[in-house]
Structure formats: C-alpha cells, structure tokens
A and B are shown apart, each in its own frame.
Chain A
C-alpha cells in the first residue's frame, strides 16, 4: 500500500513536471500577448491592444483558415465516406491499392506535395491565385485520415452484413447508404472530422508553399508575424489561434464521446 502511494506520488510528480515543461512556454506566450511591454515585464501593465491589432491586421487569415478548414471537411466527407464504404464492402486487391495510394500523402513531405501541385496546376493562373489551391492541398493531405477513420468503423460494425440485412428487407443501395451506412459510420466520421479540421487549421508546410500574398492562412500569418512584428503581436496572434482551436477540439472530443457511448 505504502509503495503504491509512493509510486503514485512519483508518477504525479513526473506528470506535473512534463505538463509544466509544455505549459510554461505556452503560459509565457499568452502572458506576452497581454503585456504592454514584454521586455519590461508584467509590471509595464496588461493590455488588450495587441489582440486588437492582431484582429485588425490578420482577421482575413483567420477567416480564410476557418473557410479552408470547413471546405476541406466538406470535401473529405463527400469523397472519403462513399469511398470508405466502397472499399470496405468489396475488399479486393484493387481496393487495397487504392487505399495505399490515397494514404501516400501522409508519408510524402508536405513541401513535396506542394511542389507537385505547383508543377501540375501552377500554370492555371486563376486556380493558383485562389484559396481553392490551398484547399486542394489540404484535401489531399487530410483525405487519408478521414478515409481510415471511416473504414475502421465500418469494418468494426460489419457493415457488409448490415447492408445485406437492409437489402434483404428491400432497401435500395441509396436507402442503405443513408439509413444504415451513414448512421453506423457516425463515430468514425466524427473522429475523422476532428482530425481533418485540426490538421487543416494548423497545417503550415504545404500551405506555406501554396499561399500567395492574398491567400494567407493563420499559420502562415503567424510565421509572418514572428518574422516581422513585435513579439507581443506574435504572442497575441498565437493567443487568437489557441482561442480558436481549443474550443473546437473540446467540442469535437465531447461530441465523439457521447456518440461513442451511445453505440
């Protein structure tokens, strides 16, 4: 019992230490975003001016990131959910090859993927200049995460049997998809959505190569501010990023948990 308590205390200590190691810089950064003058420290006073400046300077990057994340989510849903269904119901050699090819962007560095996109489509000026160019990169990069998550859940519920059951009762392929496949894939779709939105909002590698001065996303804007702005502005910008992504993550986590227990 006593050793157990000691072990627990030790584990708690290590955990707190690790957490502090990660949290202290984040905390310092958040504080810097509120500090009137970081070099003089908190004694210089707290202010919201930096945050206001960030919103004035960079709000377009915030909206673009949200737009691209939602667009990426929509595209991956439309592409990956039916694809996962098709791959799970007919497991063939071709299906395996398709799965591997779709998964490839995870292994290829983002920069290489971006370069390939630029080489292939960079000449199409309208496309190159529009946010859709970044969206395309994000979809390529996040698609395997959605695909895998949905495929895993469909295989786990034995969707082929469920579909055969629905078909035996007279359901057409479309009815089967909407009545049986989609509701039973919900857990995987939510898990995939969590991954896709998070990855898209935070994506830097690819986006840095694909962006134009008029199509900057939040992480690209962040890099920009780190390089050319006062530290307080960069910190306030980071703060805005946290405020955006943390509630989103919590909401998706919570949503995922309630549906997970309902199944």
Chain B
C-alpha cells in the first residue's frame, strides 16, 4: 500500500446551531496543514466533536461557514463524497460482515471487483498486524482488535483526511497507551492529514503536531504540544492540560511584581496580572541568585525527583519539581528561576 497523500483542510467561519437553538460551535477559523496531525482537545460539550463532524460532512455548518480540502470547497458535499476516513468512538463496525468484508466495504461501494478488494483489504490488515482476524465476526473481537479493524477500514479507501473521534476512550488504560503509540507511528508513516478528537490531555500531547484546545464551542488556544503545555493561553487551558502554578501580581516597568519577588518580563504595564507555569518548568537555585524567593513548605521524595511545595509570601502555594539530589529542608528559603519560554503571563 502506497502512502495516501493528505489534503490540507481550511475551515472558515464554521459554526453550528442545532434546530432547537443550542449553539454547539461558535464560528471558528482553522487551517490544518497537509499531512499534519491536529488534535481537538476539550471536555465533553466543548464543540470538538461537532467541529470534527463538520469536517467529515456529517453536519453542515451554519450559513456563512466554508470548508475546503486542498482549496476545493466541500461545504455542500455529504460525507460519502468527501473521501475521508473516519474512526468512531463506538467503532461502528458492521456486525453483518466479517472483518475483511468490513475493511473491504469502502472499496466495494467504489465498485472494486471482489478479488481485488479482498487483496487490498488483506494488505491493510497485514499493515495493522491483524491479518489473522480476517474471517472473524465482529462480535468475536476484543475492544483493541475492533479499534484496529476500524482504523484499517478507514485507511483502506486511502482517504485524503483521517478523522478520529475519541478512538481510544472505550479501552482500558494500558491498552490505550499501547494503541496510542501505535496510532502515532502509523499517522507519521502514512503522512496522512489527521484530525483527532479527545478529552485526554496525555493523548493530545503525545499525538498532536498541533493541539486545538476548545472551550464552550470556541477555540481557546491553538499551538504545538509544547506551546500549549508550557505557555497556555489562559487559566482554562492551563487547568485542562495538567498541574499549573499561578502567581498573582502586577506588571510595572517591564517587571512582574509578586509577593515572592520580581521577574523581568517583556510586557506592558498591567494593574492585575498572573503568571502561569508548570512544576517541571522551574529550576530551584540558591536564594542569592534568584529574583523570586520562596519558603519550602513540604518536600516529597519520589525517587527520580522530588516534589516541593513552596510558600509565596501572600499565602499562595506552588509546586515545583526538583532533582533528587538537591538538598532541601522544610522552612528553608529557596530561589526560583524561570526561563522566558516556559511561562505564560496573563
């Protein structure tokens, strides 16, 4: 099987209001580059699945919305004319067909002859390392096997775009991690354009070339996993993607002033500001070398590292990760260094 060439997706002003008046998605603009894996991340009800279904053609956007694949307008096309591959949370495998017939179904409706389509489907099964399951019935498969069959079925038609709607949510944690890395390797090998919906931040960080964090039917932030992780756009994104520290203060004369000290920042003056950063984004240094100084409240030794709870002067507490060999004692003063690309000032 040759690698399918992915299409670039261009979404302009696409919103979705359901007939009963609920607005699932405010008009959004989004570009997905050819061959990239874009993850839509957010809690349930944030509009991520609606956006995916708009791209798929399972829903039509409100008037004014436009979706294009490689520049060609597909807004009016139903899903069956868009040449997309889709993996559903429920897998949506056909119980009336064997595994290989499921995988060959897209070729069947395209009029490929029986022998040819079975051969083609068999090669996709081999690629997914599930050729042994070819003649099984769907109800004889485990969850992980079903997920692989669903992926094989979506890839067999060599889609321009692969759409995945929480494909791992129904699986247990260990299997989820295993399949996650498998999907990651596959998407990279095929260089297919993929849009992946999940509510799991670990999945999003591991799989995405870029992540779109969504909130209440709108986009909260678009960025690489590192950008979203280390420089979240706001409290919401920070809170959704792991543990975040937050320091209150003001910005004056290019300095962020807070109870623990100051930090030079490149930002205009602001009467109310807060600094967001990750526990592992900081370096603990001697108080003499630092402009931010905290008091050690608690040290938790975890083997490879230690987790340190620090008190700022105003009662705020932050969490920092420190190397295992750093000598820390509760009550001692400690300095904190923070690189400019590892925090967000909001």
Contacts and interface: CB of A to CB of B under 8 A. Distances in A.
A247 interface: no
Interface string A168-194: 111110010001100110100000000
B109 A169 contact: yes
A180 B94 contact: yes
B106 A263 contact: no
B161 to A, nearest CB: 11
B157 A169 contact: yes
A179 B106 CA distance: 12
Given A169-B109, A175-B109, A179-B105, A164 B94 contact: no
Contacts of A41: none
For chain B, give the interface size range.
20 to 34
Given A157-B95, A175-B109, A168 B56 contact: yes
A246 interface: no
A140 interface: no
A168 B154 contact: yes
Contacts of B224: none
B86 interface: yes
Nearest to B154: A168
A242 B70 CA distance: 68
A14 interface: no
Contact of B83 (A162, A170, A263): A170
Given A169-B109, A169-B153, A170-B83, A184 B94 contact: yes
A113 to B, nearest CB: 35
Given A166-B105, A175-B109, A263 B139 contact: yes
A100 interface: no
Contacts of B81: 170
B316 interface: no
Given A170-B110, A171-B109, A179-B105, A165 B92 contact: yes
Contacts of A186: 96
A142 to B, nearest CB: 26
A223 interface: no
Interface in B51-95: 56, 58, 78-81, 83-86, 88, 90-95
A165 B94 contact: yes
Interface in B165-199: none
A169 B105 contact: yes
B92 A162 contact: yes
Contacts of B91: 165
A171 B105 CA distance: 9
Nearest to A158: B90
B157 A183 contact: no
A157 B90 CA distance: 11
B80 A183 contact: no
Contacts of B85: 168-169
Contacts of A175: 109
B158 to A, nearest CB: 11
Contacts of A263: 95, 139
Given A168-B85, A170-B157, A180 B79 contact: no
A162 B91 CA distance: 9
Given A169-B153, A170-B110, A175-B109, A164 B80 contact: no
A93 B105 CA distance: 34
Contact of A164 (B92, B93, B139, B154): B92
Contacts of A166: 94, 105, 109
A183 B138 CA distance: 14
A168 B86 contact: yes
A161 B95 contact: no
Given A161-B92, A166-B105, A184-B96, 8 more contacts: A167-B78, A168-B85, A169-B106, A169-B109, A179-B105, A180-B94, A180-B96, A184-B95
Interface of B: 56, 58, 78-81, 83-86, 88, 90-96, 105-106, 108-110, 139, 153-154, 157, 163
8 contacts: A157-B95, A166-B109, A167-B58, A168-B86, A168-B163, A170-B110, A180-B94, A184-B95
Interface of A: 157-158, 161-162, 164-172, 175, 179-180, 183-184, 186, 263
